[in-house]
Amino acid sequence: MRYGGLRRPTTTMVGSERTCSATPARVAPGSNELATVIEGTWYVGEGTKFDQAKLKAYGPGTFVLIPSGIPHFIEAPDRPVVVQLTGIGKWQTDYLEK
């Protein structure tokens, strides 16, 4: 199955979050974030401010879709986590918290 189209560039990244690594609230205005958790547990929450009570755990093999423009934040408190992120078009992250 193809996502996007032949004329739109696709960006794919595989990244690792260190233990206890948390990111402030952010949005990806240009593209949906398609994430697959490869190793560890990835915590994702929705909102304009980081709130640990809103985090949901996603384990290995889990697919997560974060729609473009939705404020969200992430954390990896247990151990390092490996996540594959894919988006269509220009990859951009705008942080809502400084």
CATH of the domain at 54: 2.60.120.10
Question: Could you report the per-residue pLDDT of 8-57, keeping only the tens digit for each?
Answer: 555 666 666 665 678 899 998 888 899 999 999 999 999 999 999 999 99
Q: Note whether residue 44 is domain-resident.
A: yes
For residue 91, count CB atoms less than 10 angstroms from its CB and return exposed for 0-12, middle for 13-18, buried for 19 or more: middle
Which domain range does residue 43 map to?
10-95
Dihedral sign for Cα atoms in the order 59, 49, 21, 12: positive
Q: Note whether residue 3 is domain-resident.
A: no
Q: How many independent structural domains does the chain possess?
A: 1
Q: Is 74 part of any domain? A: yes
Instruction: Indicate whether 5 belongs to any domain.
Output: no
* Domain-embedded: residue 2: no
Over residues 46-97, the pLDDT tens digits come to 999 999 999 999 999 999 999 999 999 999 887 888 888 888 777 788 999 8
